[in-house]
Amino acid sequence: MNLQMEMEHHRKTLIVRLSGELDHHTADHVRLQLDESIQRGQTEHLVLSFKNLQFMDSSGLGVILGRYKLIKSKGGKMAVCDVNEAVYRLLDMSGLFKIMPIFDNEGQALSGLEVVS
């Protein structure tokens, strides 16, 4: 598995930093980890940081959209940040930016979701 995932809670926001490749080999692992963390914690909002994500396929899009629906059903907000050009093109073509915002970095994402202190 060529994917690393780091999770950190900032107030009621889960920040998830993905490195490597989010594809059909790694998508189920990411989905399970995110769902578990969202369900057991005090998570209302989700920020996905793709700063070190080199590749994503349609399985990765499915993970993102599924977590968007989960967070939305809890009344929360979700954003992505630090997206490189190749991943940006995939997210843009999928229409993802029509339903959730994109930010340059984690600080802007937290501010944009209005979850900073």
pTM for this entry: 0.94
pLDDT digits (tens, 9 = 90+) for 77-115: 999 999 999 899 999 999 999 999 999 999 999 999 986
pLDDT digits over 24-78, tens only? Answer: 999 999 999 999 999 887 899 999 999 999 999 999 999 999 999 999 999 999 9
Overall fold of domain 3-112: Transcription Regulator spoIIAA (3.30.750)
Q: Pick the closest to residue 48 from 86, 87, 85, 89 (CA basis).
A: 87
Q: Can you tell me the distance from the alpha carbon of 114 to that of 117, in angstroms, rounded to the nearest whole number?
A: 9
Residue ranges of domains in the chain: 3-112
